[in-house]
Chain A
């Protein structure tokens, strides 16, 4: 229960930083007040370090290193804003943005502006960027899948697998440009092993996986995040005490999430907590 903390000293952008051993560079940056763009990293998932948006330069290391996955070492010298880092992050964002619709990606727009990334420069009339142009898959009343927005960050696969849910309903299928997140034998989601916990949607950074309520409201032009409030409360469907964040707009619940840093849920919910709220605004109560 008690763990003796060993402290590690390193330098980040010229700043001396002391953090416990085992801390990632990304977390160490955070503790030093340095903001780092991430896509495939999440508080409640094991890093898979595939997106390369968070890379930093470590003295003595030939290649740039993913800050989310690399633990700090004593005496490490880290640069997060060197020309090489800026250039790499800019190009990674451009590559991602050239083929993928990042319009609903959390926070990425800010970083695209920050690094002056121009995803469109890879999409020229003479050499158009390869894009998917697939219709969103809608197979039930709770989820939608929009592959045009998927950057294959694996977060959903991890959340469905051994980072939280252990259902293993989805995995990456296919290679290269044909790689997609898919179900076993590509069956529909209702026919798959999916138990509709929504934890894949909870961690999706780009809106490729979306709650159908949100998707429908966005399509109808009614989704207004700037007018939404978030209230933390406790789910009523069993005695575990899961924290729910109720996102409300116009005095109605429109989405449910859970705080990633709470000891009970670590951000994950079940189908009842995620979708069971509709009765609150049932027409029979109005």
Chain B
């Protein structure tokens, strides 16, 4: 929407912002140290609104919790936008100078009155109104989100509906105001920045763009594909169609982590060749024809990673990798050698310096500066540039710094693909717990005193109706499969909603239940919204 893909603001800014919308994010548990910065903001007087189906540990710090129905985010965003316009609180000057498509947006959100917002989201109209007014009238305000926004079949539309609110109020491109997706791994941001996206070269330069194409072809000395490749979800579709027959997996465990995982396992099993490069014999690695033992990126390797505030920082080897484990870049280099290409023996710094010649965002980030300045935030186009704490200041420049105005998006409320039925009357959503990480390959190795394992959280009223007790073992079924797990009765969930983490696939194969309906634009599956039923296990 605004160009380069990255969180717009620095962590430091949230300490000084006035209003925080924490939307589909349980940062207290998933991003605890970012939450420290946020708490400083609250201490300094910021108001926070938590938009989340669950009353999470993060939401408990908020001034108000807006417990919307799973997947009704666009209805909420449109209702907030409509209220801001109806109350005449939108930033007309900013809209005229920096955006386009306002009239169409205004007409589109017109039906999303507060009453309609309440009907569609389940959140009282008064709370929606309060949040809309607080956001619009704040001097500075930020919207933060995580997978509660993006793990839906309409992930991109969800994000765009939030971007609309920033455009409406001018809460973008200034210190303290912005749009911040919090990243789930230490290099999600860096992976995208480096071109690990099917349609991008490093530095968000488009594949197929003649100028970028020519630059990279000269630098790498060969003709490069000018058509975008496939993202993960399309790869699985291609495996199904038989157009992909071999897969090389680096540091991912799709045989546990994919939604509708049984289906994913079948497809992986049907490949002609599966190569897995990992630090552990994961479930995926066990299925592989060839396993390439890798080293741990942050403790055994040299290189860089990029955080949610676009800060590029050095990782350094502290211990030696065991046995025959090699660094990822060495494995890839050796593979190239065996395929007949000689890349020499570049060090991680050599690779980084090459990147700096190709990606203007990173050009000024020498290893020396990354070391002495505690990391640098892109864009950092030259060695004298201090790095960029926030993005999109050009929105306020005369002539928009030579760019086009930022467009409003028309975002339609659809709700989750999988509707609740009589057969599957409960909503299941998934998320992280403080002490665990993804499929647990790394985090389950330490003895956490606060780990409770994989249980299904159920509201007390639902538990009563089902006649199930805290700690009882039950069968949980979705249209795709069934698992057995223990019940944990939780008052922080509304009626009709259930929740589980996904950290212990060896105990509970939770992705047997989740839905692999996916967003055609981002390729993200709808992990956050499956329809399920819970049944008592018959005695004996």
Contacts and interface: CB of A to CB of B under 8 A. Distances in A.
Interface residues of A, number: 57
A285 B322 contact: yes
A264 B373 CA distance: 12
A239 interface: yes
A140 B443 CA distance: 17
Interface in B437-481: 437, 441-443, 445-450
A74 to B, nearest CB: 28
A263 B11 contact: yes
A239 B189 contact: yes
Given A236-B297, A238-B184, A141 B318 contact: no
B115 to A, nearest CB: 37
Interface in B52-66: 61
A220 B448 CA distance: 23
Contact of A196 (B12, B300, B435): B435
B448 A271 contact: yes
B313 interface: yes
Interface stretch (B32-40, B78-86, B268-276): B32-40
Interface stretch (B93-101, B302-310, B331-339, B516-524): B302-310
A114 interface: no
A211 to B, nearest CB: 12
Interface in A208-262: 229, 231-244, 246, 248, 251-253, 262
A245 to B, nearest CB: 9
B448 A196 contact: yes
A31 interface: no
Contact of B437 (A229, A272, A280): A272
B307 A279 contact: no
Interface residues of B, number: 60
B374 A241 contact: no
B330 interface: no
B434 A195 contact: yes
Nearest to B436: A272
B27 to A, nearest CB: 9
A275 B185 CA distance: 17
Interface in A188-207: 189-190, 194-197
A164 B38 CA distance: 11
Interface string B171-197: 000010000001111111100000000
Given A231-B316, A235-B298, A271-B434, A241 B311 contact: yes
9 contacts: A165-B36, A237-B437, A238-B30, A240-B32, A279-B443, A279-B445, A280-B319, A284-B281, A286-B322
Given A238-B437, A272-B436, A279-B446, 11 more contacts: A139-B449, A195-B434, A196-B450, A238-B185, A238-B186, A240-B307, A241-B305, A241-B313, A242-B33, A263-B11, A278-B445
Interface of A: 1, 139-142, 162, 164-166, 189-190, 194-197, 229, 231-244, 246, 248, 251-253, 262-266, 268-273, 275-282, 284-286
